[in-house]
Amino acid sequence: MITTQQTKVLKGADMTWDLMPNHIELYHREIVSAAEADGMGIRTSSVLWEKIGVGGQVLPHYHDVVEIIHITVGQVRLLCNGEWQDYEAGDTFQVPAGVVHSVANRGDAPSEQISIFLPAEQDVPSNSFFNTTLVDDVYSASIR
């Protein structure tokens, strides 16, 4: 049931980095929780802004959801289809449910990524691109 009716703003400067247990130098900021997703009427487990410290690693694992990982800062090494490969900011990984994967920082500064966790379901309806409806100019604001 959709219960959220207003835009919520999370300011990065107000958020804290929480250490993720069972990994090496992995910190996260939850930018959408499962409860918040429920309120918006979307199906997601979580959306995380993650930071991996120098020498840090998300240890090899798998889960029952799909994970989309977009690297925003730094250089990483990804355990991809059983092999380690190097990637950098701007690269995106689509990891199916049940697939073993890992991300390690390979640079000399922390790396950052956005990780989106989505349910994997059999027999889902086909997806389509969303529709956008423009509204009256009364909401337009000057950006100067």
Identify whether 7 is part of a domain. Answer: no
Identify whether 109 is part of a domain. Answer: yes
Identify whether 126 is part of a domain. Answer: no
The backbone torsions φ and ψ at residue 15, rounded to the nearest 5 degrees and listed phi first, read: -95, 150
How much of the chain is in helix, strand and coil states, percent to nearest 5?
10, 45, 45
CA distances to 33, 86, 93, 128 from 89, rounded to whole Å, are 24, 11, 11, 28
The C-alpha atoms of residue 139 and residue 2 are separated, in whole angstroms, by 24
Check which CATH number belongs to the domain holding 68 and give it.
Answer: 2.60.120.10
Q: Which of 109, 68, 113 is nearest to 89 (CA)?
A: 113
Could you give the number of structural domains in the chain?
A: 1
Identify whether 50 is part of a domain. Answer: yes
Identify whether 130 is part of a domain. Answer: no
Mean pLDDT calculated for residue range 118-139? 83
Q: What is the pLDDT of residues 29-38, one digit of tens each?
A: 999 999 999 9
| pLDDT at residue 24, rounded to an integer | 97
Q: Which domain holds residue 54?
A: 18-120
pTM of the model: 0.89
